[in-house]
């Protein structure tokens, strides 16, 4: 079987700086990592892989994004594809999904697509479902684990507001993974990192994936960023250090004064 894992490179820190004129996040000097949700999705693909299966890691970005894809190869992916073109820049989730859909159609036959449930930098949780809709395939969201794959069907454990449920579908389909609290991203050992350099790696441009260019980049984006800024820091809270009885009385006074109660 062929598994496709969509990954994103994200900043390792929340302390970001912005170019207010261009409404962009400044990447210079900011270390990056694989989006942890995407790494979990990759780990699930690796977990169910059998002999003869292929895992393809794909990402939209620039030359720096190759580092993230090489990490995916070191973790266990078999092939990396970087979608790097100026026409892909400034894509919102809709344009991103269209770029990925065009690239996946170029890849050809596949059985499963894995995405992270959301990304650490934007957290919209839209790319996976939009991609499934564009490819017209079933989707499982909030997937915590792939339970079984056999006879052209898959069973997945998904999170719900009430707990969990086990869902089943025929292949092909798309799964967006959300890691359990116990998940710890692996760090590949040095021999795996060195071996990753020998695995197939391709860079695709707009002309390679074809598709509708009017749906790529800022031209194809439905969301227009008006302003990027850091939210103001919250004011320091009130700390009451008296004994419990006195503290409760003071707290009630403050809540009454602010008309909370």
Q: How confident is the model over 125-176, as pLDDT tens digits?
A: 899 999 999 999 999 999 999 999 988 899 999 999 989 999 999 999 999 9
Give the tens place of pLDDT for each residue, 77-124.
Answer: 999 999 999 999 889 999 999 999 999 999 999 999 999 998 877 778
pLDDT tens-digit readout, 229-261: 777 778 788 888 889 889 999 999 888 988 888
**Residue found by looking up tokens 């895992």 in the block:** 55
| CATH code, 63 | 3.40.50.620
End-to-end CA distance of the chain: 60
- Say if 55 falls within a structural domain: yes
Q: Is position 209 within any domain? A: yes
Enumerate the β-bridge partners of residue 203. 82
Contact 97, 211 (CB under 8 A): no
* Residue 257 falls inside a structural domain: no
Distance CA 34, CA 14 (A): 15
Q: Tell me whether residue 176 is in a domain.
A: yes
Q: Is residue 237 part of a domain?
A: no
Residue 64 has pLDDT above 70, yes or no: yes
Lowest-pLDDT range, 28-42, 130-144, 189-203, 205-219?
Answer: 28-42
Would you say residue 11 lies in a domain? yes
Q: Where are the beta strands (DSSP E) in the chain?
A: 2-6, 9-11, 18-19, 24-25, 32-34, 54-60, 79-83, 112-116, 139-150, 153-159, 164-170, 173-177, 201-204
Task: Quote the number of domains for the chain.
Answer: 1
Rounded Cα–Cα distance for residues 33 and 28 (Å): 14
Domain that holds residue 161: 2-220
pTM of the model: 0.84
Q: Which residues pair with 204 in a beta bridge?
A: 83
């Amino acid at each position: 079987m062929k598994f496709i894992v969509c990954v994103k490179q994200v900043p390792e820190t929340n302390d970001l700086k912005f170019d207010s004129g261009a409404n962009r996040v400044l990447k210079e000097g900011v270390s990056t990592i694989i989006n942890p949700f995407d790494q979990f999705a990759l780990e699930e693909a690796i977990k169910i892989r059998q002999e003869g299966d292929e895992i393809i890691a794909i990402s939209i970005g620039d030359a720096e994004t190759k580092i993230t894809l090489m990490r995916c190869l070191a973790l266990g992916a078999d092939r990396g594809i970087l979608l790097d073109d100026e026409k892909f820049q400034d894509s919102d989730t809709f344009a991103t999904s269209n770029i990925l859909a065009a690239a996946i159609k170029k890849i050809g036959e596949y059985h499963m697509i894995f995405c992270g449930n959301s990304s650490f930098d934007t957290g919209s949780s839209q790319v996976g479902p939009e991609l499934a809709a564009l490819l017209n395939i079933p989707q499982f969201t909030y997937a915590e684990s792939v339970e079984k794959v056999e006879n052209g069907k898959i069973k997945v454990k998904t999170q719900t507001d009430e707990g969990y449920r086990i869902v089943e579908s025929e292949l092909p389909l798309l799964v967006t993974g959300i890691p359990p609290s116990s998940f710890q991203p692996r760090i590949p050992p040095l021999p795996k990192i060195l071996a990753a350099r020998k695995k197939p790696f391709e860079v695709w441009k707009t002309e390679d994936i074809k598709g509708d260019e009017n749906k790529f980049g800022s031209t194809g984006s439905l969301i227009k960023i008006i302003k990027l800024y850091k939210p103001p820091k919250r004011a320091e809270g009130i700390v009451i250090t008296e004994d419990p009885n006195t503290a409760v009385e003071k707290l009630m006074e403050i809540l009454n004064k602010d008309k909370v109660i």
